[in-house]
């Protein structure tokens, strides 16, 4: 069976939304019958609160990143424990070596961050490349990629399909820091060089993720 990587925002999988975590566990269990899954979970509000506190305390940027990584791993562990050992590896990989080891025998591998200076979107891209994944499904809190930030512009238009080059241009023109995060430059470079398809969907509706994993057209498809 081929691999699909799913990157889930920490705004979706977190301890404040147990019902949504359960829904994700159920859908991952279903779709893993036909695909092997690597699921990267973001740190969300927990990560941001720790990072902000550390910044105020004068902690270095690298160690701030480590706090964010630990928060992402906690969210990943919450989802892993909900899935249970029958379906997923309960150990959360903390390095590329551990990721590859888990991938050698687990149907579903869950992870958060790996190292400082790297977003969880970049981790998802690198994971997709290492596993020669069919696609990366990016579960966000918006319906896909828009020509401008849909949170600030009601007239923003959803773009059903575009290339990585076009995506970079859209993000350069429309994104305000911390407001409309999709893929950072490092993630885009990795995905583009290995020509891995990315599908951007609204992960607040888990069925969108299920459709994307199965290869159905939903949200925005980004290709080489």
Q: What is the pLDDT of residues 128-182, one digit of tens each?
A: 999 999 999 999 999 999 988 888 888 999 999 999 999 998 888 654 434 446 8
Which tens digit of pLDDT belongs to each residue from 196-213? 999 999 999 999 999 999
Answer whether 8's CB lies under 8 Å from 138's CB. Answer: no
Write 17-22 long-range contacts (CB < 8 A, 24+). 20/204, 20/206, 21/78, 21/79, 21/82, 22/82
Paired with 157 in beta bridges are: none
Helices marked H in 39-184: 44-56, 61-83, 96-103, 120-130, 164-174
Q: What pLDDT, on the 0 to 100 scale, is given for residue 178?
A: 41
Question: Which fold is adopted by the domain 5-9+12-223?
Answer: Carbamate kinase (3.40.1160)
User: In sequence order, what are the residues at sequence separation of 6 or more whose Cβ sits closer than 8 angstroms to the Cβ of residue 90?
Assistant: 77, 80, 81, 84
Q: Identify the pLDDT of residue 222.
A: 98
- The confidence score (pLDDT) of residue 172 equals 80
Q: What is the pTM of this model?
A: 0.94
């Amino acid at each position: 069976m081929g691999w699909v990587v799913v990157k889930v925002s920490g705004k979706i999988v977190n301890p404040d939304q147990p019902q949504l975590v359960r829904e994700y566990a159920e859908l991952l269990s279903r779709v893993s019958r036909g695909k092997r899954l690597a699921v990267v979970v973001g740190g969300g509000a927990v990560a941001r609160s720790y990072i902000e506190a550390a910044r105020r305390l004068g902690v270095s940027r690298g160690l701030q990143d480590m706090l964010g990584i630990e928060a992402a791993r906690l969210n990943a562990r919450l989802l892993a424990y909900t899935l249970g050992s029958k379906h997923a590896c309960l150990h959360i990989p903390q390095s590329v070596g551990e990721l590859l080891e888990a991938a050698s025998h687990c149907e579903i591998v869950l992870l958060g961050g790996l190292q400082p200076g790297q977003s969880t979107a970049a981790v998802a891209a690198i994971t997709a490349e290492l596993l020669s994944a069919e696609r990366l499904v990016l579960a966000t809190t918006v319906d896909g990629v828009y020509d401008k930030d849909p949170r600030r512009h009601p007239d923003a238009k959803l773009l059903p399909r575009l290339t990585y080059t076009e995506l970079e241009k859209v993000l350069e023109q429309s994104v305000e820091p911390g407001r409309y995060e999709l893929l950072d430059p490092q993630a885009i470079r990795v995905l583009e060089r290995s020509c891995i398809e990315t599908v951007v969907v609204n992960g607040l509706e888990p069925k969108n993720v299920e459709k994307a994993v199965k290869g159905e057209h939903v949200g925005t498809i980004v290709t080489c």
